[in-house]
Structure 1
Amino acid sequence: MNVCLRGKRCAKVLIICLLLSLILTVWISLQLSPIITSLSVNTSDCECHPNEDNAHHKAKDMSSTETSSHRLAVVVPFRDRFDELLTFVPHMKTFLKKQGIDYKIYIINQMDVYRFNRASLINAGFLISRPECDYMAMHDVDLLPLNANLSYHFPTDGPFHVSSPQLHPKYHYKTFVGGVLLIRGEHFEKVNGMSNNYWGWGLEDDEFYVRLKEANLFISRPQGITTGINDTFRHIHSTHRKRDTIRLFNQKEITRKRDRKTGLNSVQFRLKSVNEVMIDRSAVSVYNVQLICDLSLTPWCQTRQTIASKGPKAANS
């Protein structure tokens, strides 16, 4: 009888011990679980991009183990082209990410009453982006690269004209450097940027070509591209917008000459505000600027409607 009771007590003690052991094991596992998880994440070799959808993007080249040591400013002179911008931002994000480009998109939005001045906006964009970036893409908002072999990497040998005359959908003359041009910061400064005289559409990039040639900067262009003028770029310019090609006062005479007076060191603008705009889950920075025009030097900065309402004397005062 005593042996039996003693055996039952032993069995109960054994069961209690087993239960305590199981509870202790579970408790220890729960305490160690966060530590193990933390070690697993911190020792992995994956790259984490908590702000991956931002247009200021540090990407990694899928074909390389190293990230670029240079940062690209994609400077986009802009006004009233929001429909093109909706396509441009996500397209460039995908394109540049595949090349491993460290970049930021700068939309330089002209919000004054004057005629559009692409060159002055690029000058302003360069000054705004210079503290963060060491090279720039002067980039039209309506021109999208399609061929993955069009490089946006740092141009080591001089300006690199991505949208060369052999590849651009519309412009094919030898001295054309518009559309998309990559240039190092020191080279843009060397030529004093672009002329500020070109209010309205056209010719500012032709004058810039002369600046580059006079500074003995060799302009290189893509090689070995198998696509042509119809499928290397996508041109998304809206046909309902008429280009401002009118020449007012003595504008035609002045702008056909090399400008040796104005440039990066004389561009005048006010940065009114900076807005972060979300486009397809990507935040892009829009810099709202007001350009300043000296009517005594370039009265053609005004629109024809403004001149008609004020008269020529008011335009020249």
Structure 2
Amino acid sequence: MTRLLLGVTLERICKAVLLLCLLHFVIIMILYFDVYAQHLDFFSRFNARNGSRAHPFSNSSRPNGTAASYGAAGAEPPSASARPGANHSSTEKPLQPCQEVPPGLVGRLLIEFSSPMSMERVQRENPDVRRGGKYSPQDCVPRQKVAILIPFRHREHHLKYWLHYLHPILRRQKVAYGIYIINQFGEDTFNRAKLLNVGFLEALKDDEEYDCFIFSDVDLIPMDDRNLYRCYEQPRHFAVGMDKFGFRLPYAGYFGGVSGLSKSQFLKINGFPNEYWGWGGEDDDIFNRISLNGMKVSRPDIRIGRYRMIKHERDKHNEPNPQRFTKIQNTKMTMKRDGISSLQYRVVEVSRQPLYTNVTVEIGRPPPRLARG
């Protein structure tokens, strides 16, 4: 009986060993064919590359495989390898759309403003950014083309930190973007919303393919690169939790700091109001315009929508607007006549810097206030 059991056990062990050997053989064959296929792919690409060098005007050397129009005068007909039905393999695969959530994001970021910053350093850190502050990913097709607009005056120190942090974040987010600094000319009262209206039009003059617009203050830096700078089905408020507010929303209708609207959303609300001179009120007016046009504000999770603000004193000629509360109550009556449709300004200068495009504009001055009593 013992011998019988021993024999059965040995038989089972032999079968198990045989199965392991068979499994090992199958795995080896799979790896072999995989390596063999990679070698074939390498040699085919190598031959195709050499072929394109030998025939620089062949179809394979053109971007996206665009064929020349050989019916025109002086154009040569395609070679046999480029004709339909020929045994011809493409040299490069077409780029795929960028992923909804890019794989290179790092999440929570350490943001600090104590280290000295210079434009030269930021430029060295971002060699892939083209002149004018433009960038597009090379390994995938971006889903949107984004113009980032910053209302500006006398904030060069803040701008260096903003560019230092935002360029790498936007590149990791696989965004095709351009950065526009809308600089108010002169020393009259500051008008944030009117500058953003100007930025919308000037960015479209520069590139009519922009379909998303991010409106950002220069002193606000996102603390998480999962806060994706793109447009959504509803207008987007990005700066959900600022450090100055204890990383929480100050009130439900708050729409300040950093926001984003698609081209169609922006035009639907007639852009931003032009008559908010001085600090405050325009972001509440924008929130009212969005609500009155049947849209809702979307926001990221409070843990992702955190921002650090560069501390500073209030700018001269940007004092609180005493008329802001009255104007906010009248949005429904004013939004059709006061906005992008009534915008007037004069471009003083447009200069393309290595990391951004500067648009200096004259936007006028506020109307005289009526004397009290």
Instruction: Provide the TM-score with structure 1 as the length reference.
Output: 0.69
**Deviation readout 1:61-103 (Å, 9 max, x if unpaired):** xxxx632142101010111111001111131110100000000
- Bigger relative contact order, structure 1 or 2, given CA contacts below 8 A and separation 6+? 1
Take 1:145 and 1:221, find their aligned partners in 2: how far apart are those partners?
Answer: 14
Q: Percent identity?
A: 28
Q: What are the residue-to-residue correspondences of 1:190-229 with 2, within 5 Å?
A: 190-223=268-301, 226=303
> Mind listing any 5+ residue stretches in structure 1 that lack a counterpart?
1-34, 301-311
What residue number does 1:25 align with? Answer: none
Q: Write the deviation string for residues 247-295 of structure 1: whole angstroms up to 9, x where unpaired.
A: 46x6764455323331111111101111123xxxx431100000034x6
Deviation at 1:241, TM superposition (A): 4.1
Aligned residue type for 1:179: G
Match of 1:75 in 2: 149
Which residue is equivalent to 1:276?
A: 352
Q: 1:191 to 1:227 in 2, by over 3 A?
A: closer
- Shift of residue 206, structure 1, vs aligned partner: 0.3
TM-score normalised to the size of structure 2? Answer: 0.59
Number of the residue aligned with 2:129: 53
Q: How does 1:1-317 map to 2 (within 5 A)?
A: 52-54=128-130, 55-59=133-137, 66-130=140-204, 131-155=208-232, 157-164=233-240, 166=241, 169-170=244-245, 172-223=250-301, 226=303, 232-239=306-313, 241=315, 244-247=318-321, 253-254=326-327, 256-258=329-331, 259-260=334-335, 261-277=337-353, 282-293=354-365, 298-299=367-368
What's the counterpart of residue 3 of structure 1? none
Deviations 1:228-248 (A, max 9, x none): 8xxx22211423746833446
RMSD of aligned Cα (Å): 3.0
Counterpart of 1:299 in 2: which secondary structure?
coil
Q: Measure, in 2, the Cα distance between the counterparts of 1:272 and 1:200.
A: 21
8 Å Cα contact 2:150-2:217 kept in structure 1: yes
- Kept in 1, the 8 Å contact 2:190–2:317? The answer is no
CA distance in 2, matches of 1:255, 1:211: 10
Deviation at residue 146 of structure 1 after TM alignment: 1.7
Spell out, residue by residue over 1:98-120, the C-alpha distance to the aligned partner (whole angstroms, 9 max, x if none). 00000000100000342100000
Equivalent position SS for 2:285: helix
Change (3 A) 1:141 1:291: same
1:137: how far off?
A: 0.3
Q: Could you say if the C-alpha distance between residues 104 and 68 of structure 1 is closer, same or farther in structure 2, counting changes exceeding 3 Å?
A: same
| Cα distance, 1:92–1:227 mapped onto 2, change above 3 Å | closer
What is the rounded CA distance, in whole Å, between the counterparts of 1:163 and 1:251 in structure 2?
21
Give ranges in structure 2 of 5+ residues lacking alignment.
1-48, 54-60, 62-90, 96-125
Q: Distance in 2 between matches of 1:179 and 1:283?
A: 21
Distance change in 2, residues 1:79/1:213 (3 Å): same
Taking structure 1 as reference, are residues 91 and 134 closer, same or farther at Cα in structure 2, changes over 3 Å only?
A: same
